[in-house]
Structure 1
Amino acid sequence: MTIPSTGQPLVSIGVPVFNGENYVEQALGSVLAQTMGDFEIVVSDNASTDRTSMICQDLAATDRRIRYYRNERNLGAGANYNLAFAKSRGTYFKWLAHDDRIKPGYLAATVATLDQAPDAVLCNTVVDYINGQGEHIAFYDSGLSGADHPRPSHRFATMILMSHSCVDFFGLCRRATLVDSMLHGPFHGADRAFLAQMALRGRLLQVKEPLVEMREHDQRYTRAKQDAKGRAAWHDAAKAKARSLPTWRLYREYVDLVAKERLAPAERTACRLALLRWWIVNWNSIRASVDIGALAWPRLPHHAEMVKIRLFGKAPGHF
């Protein structure tokens, strides 16, 4: 039986998990080891079939700050991420993947940074990439500091035109900014759309010290799900057999955000000009074409990516 926590915490950490017995204890332990203790951990278990439930409930029984919830069936990653947020209560919120870790000073540093910048909505740090055994691979600066700018159009253009691996989806956010946001959409690329929306709503800040550890391993989503249908099903279990055009869906989300978010006319126009440029950067036109081909050949995106890597190398933030 989970012992409930009391009071409203300053920070909520949402941990969505499915069959995470390999790393979830390390992820939760990294939060419990924070130098700032005013937090809660909300574990949303997506109907795991391994020892995840036992591990999480055992930890929850020893610390009131951990609250464990289990879905009756697998809802897909998007819905499960959003449930973790819905059940949280903190002034600040952060998602933590079950296979990642945060270093002891992460919350203290990111909370202090946001406290000092009322117009900022998200803060993350440089990433320390680790392997399956927890050994250091490389440091990665996503370029998030480029979105620390007073103009929404500049921030938006930075996030949609810059090549980055979306690690900042897992940054610390103001809860008030998230309440009516898209959160984790049910499609491949939803993390990019989320960051674009946050950029339209406020400054995005970066702590240059590497205080988050992201794990590269064979079962990571981007490694385990190589075909279009598999990626669609991972995000939304109800769409396991559905056809998808993720690049086109992402662009439509960008267009809708620019139309619906509160922007001055000149800023809205500048964002739309950035959307025109989007087609000629980062292989986006080719990706859109590959999406169409994947309707007949689901593994085409994987093969296209392998060809690109052989010819031009891996994109920044991919190891």
Structure 2
Amino acid sequence: MATESDIDGSGEQDLPLVSIGLFAYNEARFLRRTLDSLLAQDYANIEIIISDNCSTDETEAICLEYAQRSSWIRYHRRPHNVGSAANSIHVLEQATGKYFMWASGHDAWSPGLISTCVTLLEGHPSSALAYGPASWIDEEDRAWDKESGWYDTRGMQAMLRFFMAFWGNAHPILGLIRTRYLHELPKIHACVGADQIVLVELALKGDFLHAADAMWWRRQPRKRESHADRIRRYKSSDFGLAKSWLDRSLPLLRLPLEQARAVLRSQLGIGEKIAVLMALVPAFLVRYLAGRKA
């Protein structure tokens, strides 16, 4: 476990800074466990940026308490609720580290997750992100009989990396990402499926590395959801993803459009772009209109 003295020691100068962006809204029930998990990381050069989306519970008091205890933590409170998507973009905008990781206010991570992912990324300069396997837990930290799938794109060409991210789940978005690549994106859209858009953009930039020993425990306080349940939740005002009539009527419309634009903006050759776009037409129909799980 890293200590406060580690942060002030000479060893920190040899370690790239990692920014963790924690977006929170009314997370008082789980927030202490989440912050304890982040502060228990065995990596010594971390900043934790908390953006409190104008919570109405004890979230603010808990964050201020922990900010007094650790110089790693920077706490921001939004004057009004801007929605989950805008709040998650805000923490990225505050990041100063070489690497960045989004964190929700109710999850947990193994103590070596950051150090393991940094080692992988530093050893593979062509990589975009590193992430570990995810397991679900409930409100009482009990494990579900469910784990995430994973993929590793080392050795793959950009076209294949794109389709791996297209068909894969969205869990890598909560891995450790090269901050520069995120800042190079023209825009992170506050729309349904924004995580999938970012992932295909990142896949076109570099490899996704799977860190088998870097565990992420994803808390699921809600009941198990169907695809339709998730879409209804994403369209709610809590997320701020469906602000127009068109977004509410066709919540997935912008997703394939932005993924196609990512291909057009990429460094792929003209022939490769045409091939990918042609393959995307039937893929879109199967992936999104058929309601396949993300």
TM bracket (short chain): 0.7 to 0.9
TM-score, structure 1 normalization: 0.80
Relative to structure 1, the CA distance from residue 193 to residue 211 in structure 2 (aligned partners, 3 Å threshold; closer, same or farther) is same
Q: In 2, are the aligned partners of 1:160 and 1:196 still within 8 Å (CA)?
A: yes
| 1-structure distance, mates of 2:21, 2:147 | 23
Q: Does 1:109 align with 2:109?
A: no
- 1:173 aligns with one of 172, 177, 195: 177
Q: Which residue of 2 aligns with 1:148?
A: 154
| 1-structure distance, mates of 2:226, 2:65 | 30
Q: CA deviation at 1:222?
A: 8.4
Q: CA deviation at 1:235?
A: 2.9
Aligned partner of 2:184: which letter?
D
Cα deviation, 1:200-240, whole Å, max 9, x if unaligned, reads 11111111225111112118998996564862523327828
SS at match of 1:96: strand
Q: Which residue of 2 aligns with 1:158?
A: 164
Q: In 2, are the aligned partners of 1:13 and 1:94 still within 8 Å (CA)?
A: yes
Q: In 1, are the aligned partners of 2:112 and 2:214 still within 8 Å (CA)?
A: no
Relative to structure 1, the CA distance from residue 157 to residue 217 in structure 2 (aligned partners, 3 Å threshold; closer, same or farther) is same
More displaced, 229-238 or 266-275?
Answer: 229-238
SS at match of 2:290: helix
Cα deviation, 1:257-307, whole Å, max 9, x if unaligned, reads 11112222233223213312313434x2334xxxxxxxxxxxxxxxxxxxx
Q: Does 1:250 align with 2:264?
A: no
- 2:31 aligns with one of 18, 24, 30: 24
Aligned partner of 2:137: which letter?
I
More displaced, 58-67 or 261-270?
Answer: 261-270
Which runs of no fewer than 5 residues in structure 2 stay unpaired? 1-6
Q: Does 1:123 align with 2:127?
A: no
SS at match of 1:31: helix
- How large is the Cα RMSD of the aligned pairs? 2.8
Q: Does 1:89 align with 2:96?
A: yes
TM-score, structure 2 normalization: 0.86
Q: Which residue of 2 aligns with 1:304?
A: none
Which runs of no fewer than 5 residues in structure 1 stay unpaired? 288-307, 309-314
Q: Does 1:279 align with 2:284?
A: yes
Cα deviation, 1:103-140, whole Å, max 9, x if unaligned, reads 10100110000000000011101112211111222463
| 2-structure distance, mates of 1:211, 1:105 | 8
Relative to structure 1, the CA distance from residue 139 to residue 149 in structure 2 (aligned partners, 3 Å threshold; closer, same or farther) is farther
Aligned partner of 1:135: which letter?
R
Relative to structure 1, the CA distance from residue 223 to residue 40 in structure 2 (aligned partners, 3 Å threshold; closer, same or farther) is farther
Number of residues paired by the alignment? 282
SS at match of 2:212: strand
Cα deviation, 1:58-117, whole Å, max 9, x if unaligned, reads 100111110000111111111111110111111100001111111101001100000000
Aligned partner of 1:255: which letter?
A
Relative to structure 1, the CA distance from residue 251 to residue 199 in structure 2 (aligned partners, 3 Å threshold; closer, same or farther) is same
Q: Which residue of 1 aligns with 2:211?
A: 207
Q: Which residue of 2 aligns with 1:297?
A: none
- 1:60 aligns with one of 67, 72, 81: 67
SS at match of 2:177: strand
More displaced, 147-156 or 169-178?
Answer: 147-156
Aligned partner of 1:116: which letter?
G
- 1:43 aligns with one of 50, 69, 81: 50
More displaced, 64-73 or 184-193?
Answer: 184-193
- 2:235 aligns with one of 231, 235, 247: 231
Q: Does 1:137 align with 2:141?
A: no
